[in-house]
Amino acid sequence: MDSAPPDTANDAASAGAPAASDAAPGTVAAATLPSAGNPEKRAYPAPAAAPTQHGPRGIRFDFNEGARVTLPEGAAPWKVRLRDLDTGNILFDTTLKSGFVNSSKRFFVRFRIEVWQNEETVLRHDYDAAGRRVLVFMPVGTLGDTLGWFPYAAKFAAQHKCRLTCGMAEKLIPLFRDAYPEIEFLAHEAVQPEEYYATYYVGLFFGDEGNVWQPCDFRLVGLHRTAGYILGVDPTETPPLLGVPDEGRPIAEPYVAIATQSTTQCKYWNNPQGWRDVVRALKAAGYRVVCIDQKPVHGHGLVWNHIPHGAEDETGDRPLAERVRWLRHAEFFVGLSSGLSWLAWAAGIPVVMIAGFTHPTNEFATPYRVMNYHACNGCWNDMRLRFDHKDFLWCPRHAGTPRQFECTRLITAEHVIATIRRVPAMAGRLARMPAVAQAADSQA
C-alpha cells in the first residue's frame, strides 16, 4: 500500500498560486532566494507561464520548475497525486475543482503525475525525458562554478537520452560547444521556455532551509558536486571537455602560469611576502612566470591587490580560449580558489591551489592543495555562517581583529614552495629551490 512520508507537510505541493517559499532561486553570483515581498527578482529566466505538455480534457503538465499540473473547471472535481517513483512516496494528494498544482521540490525527482475524475483515471504520466527537450540553467557571472557544474549536465543528457539545452553565460559557450555537439548551448536571453519538457536550475542556494532547490546543502557536498545532487546523477567529479583548438605554445621557454586575483579578499593569499617569494623561487628554477589574471590590480576601498613583482603581465579582458592556450602549455598552475584554477583543472594540468576559507571538499581534488590547519579555516563551508557577497572584506569570525584573513595569511611561501617541489614537472629543477627559499626567508 502507498504511504506518504513522515514529513509530508514539507514535501507537499502547492495548489493555486506559489507560496513565498517557492520564489525564484539565487546563486553565489546573483541574488539569493528573494523574499515574498520581492517575488519577481529572479536569478534565472522564468519557466513557461503554463505547463507545456497537453493531456486529456484540457489538462496541462510538465516538469519545468518542479512537477506542474493545471486543471480546468470540469463537470466533476479532480483528484491529483504526485509520486516519487524512486522512493515510492506519495508527495501530494488532493481534490480540487480546478487550479494549479506545483511540487515543492524543484530539483530532479522522477515524478509520476496521476489525475482522476469521477474515479476514472484521466492521466497517468511517468517522467521520461528520452527524446524530449530538457533545459538546465547555470548562472551568469561565474567561471569556476560553471566549469564545475557543466559535466553533471552532460551526465544528465547521457543518462536520460534527452535533447539537452544548457543556458549559461554567452562568453563561456565557446569553451564547450565543439566538445559537446549533441548539447545545445544558449545565452539566457535566447531561451524559449515554452519548448521544454523539464527545466532544472543549478546554483548555490543560500537560505534554502526547506531544500526546495537542492536536496542537500552545497556546503556539505562541495561546490561542483551539488550539481550532481540537483540533477540526480552520479556526483563523482569529472572535469569538462574543452572544445578550444590548440594553437600551440604561446612562448617557447618553459613557464608556470599563475593567477593571484579573485572576487573577495578572503580568497586571496593574504601573506604579504608570499607571491613575491614564490615568483622568485620559480624564476630561479628556470621558469618564466606568467600572470593570466583578468586584472593586474583589483580591490575595494582601501584594499588593493597588485600583480606580483617579477611576474610577466599577460592580464587583460581576453577571450577564455586564449587563457586555455596559456594553461595547456604551462608546466603547472599556481592559483587560488577561483575561476582560473577550475579552468586549469579542465585544461588537464597540475594545479597548486592556495586556499583557506573553503574546506578541501569544496573544490576539485588536487594533490597540490596548500592549506594551513593551524589557522582558522573553512568559513565558507560552515553552515552557521552566511557569505556576504557585498562585503569585499568578509571574514565572519575575525573581521576587525589581528586574526582577520589568517586562513591564508599564515600560509607561508615555504609551504607553497614545498608543495610545488612535489609537482612532477619540477624533476631536475629541485636543486635550485632550497637556496631560493632560504634567500627569500632571509629577506622577509
In this prediction, residue 434 has a pLDDT band, given cuts at 50, 70 and 90, of low
> SS3 for 377?
coil
Give the closest residue to 340 by CA, choosing from 158, 142, 128.
142
Q: Residue 283: which H helix or E strand, with range?
A: helix 274-284
- pLDDT value for 139: 93
pLDDT tens string 338-380: 999 999 999 999 999 999 999 999 999 999 999 999 999 999 9
pLDDT at 23: 34
Determine how β-strand 312-313 pairs with β-strand 288-291. Answer: parallel
- Tens digits of per-residue pLDDT, 244-268? 999 899 999 999 999 999 999 999 9
pLDDT beyond 50 at 18: no
pLDDT at 47: 96
- H or E element that contains 256: strand 255-258
DSSP 119-173: TEEEEEEE---TTSEEEEE--SS-SHHHHHHHHHHHHHHHHHT-EEEEE--GGGH
- CB within 8 Å of 412: residues ≥ 6 apart: 271, 274
- Find the mean pLDDT for residues 107-114: 98
Q: Spell out the domain ranges in the chain.
A: 1-239, 255-443
pLDDT digits (tens, 9 = 90+) for 118-169: 999 999 999 999 999 999 999 998 999 999 999 999 999 999 999 999 999 9
Among 22, 145, 208, 293, the active-site one is 145
Q: Per-residue confidence at 43, pLDDT binned at 50, 70, 90?
A: confident
* Mean pLDDT, the chain, integer: 89
Which of helix, strand or coil describes residue 14? strand
226: cell is 551539488
Q: Which three cell numbers stand for residue 113?
A: 503525475
Q: Are 311 and 289 in contact (CB under 8 A)?
A: yes
* Pair 282, 420: CB distance under 8 Å: yes
Would you state the pLDDT for residue 432?
74
Whole-number Å distance between alpha carbons of 264 and 192: 35
Mean pLDDT of the region 285-303 = 96
Residues 6 or more apart from 52 whose CB is under 8 A from it? Answer: 60, 62, 64, 194, 195, 196, 197
Q: In Å, how far are 152, 347, 352, 366, 368 from 237, measured between CA atoms?
A: 8, 15, 18, 12, 17
Q: Which residue has the cell 534527452?
A: 162
Q: Which residues contact 11 (CB under 8 A, 6 or more apart)?
A: 4, 5, 89, 91, 92, 104, 105
The class level of CATH for 255-443 reads alpha beta
Using DSSP's 3-state secondary structure scheme, residue 247 falls into coil
Q: How far apart are the C-alpha atoms of 188 and 400, rounded to whole Å?
A: 40
What does the chain come to in residues?
Answer: 444
Per the annotation, the verdict on 178 as an active-site residue is no
Residue 89 pLDDT > 70, yes or no?
A: yes
* Coil, helix or strand at residue 198: strand
User: Is residue 360 within 8 Å of residue 373, measured between CB atoms?
Assistant: no
Q: What is the pTM of this model?
A: 0.89
Do 73 and 166 meet the contact criterion of CB atoms below 8 Å apart? no
Best CA proximity match to 68, nearest among 21, 115, 32, 29: 115
Q: Residue 120 is which amino acid?
A: E
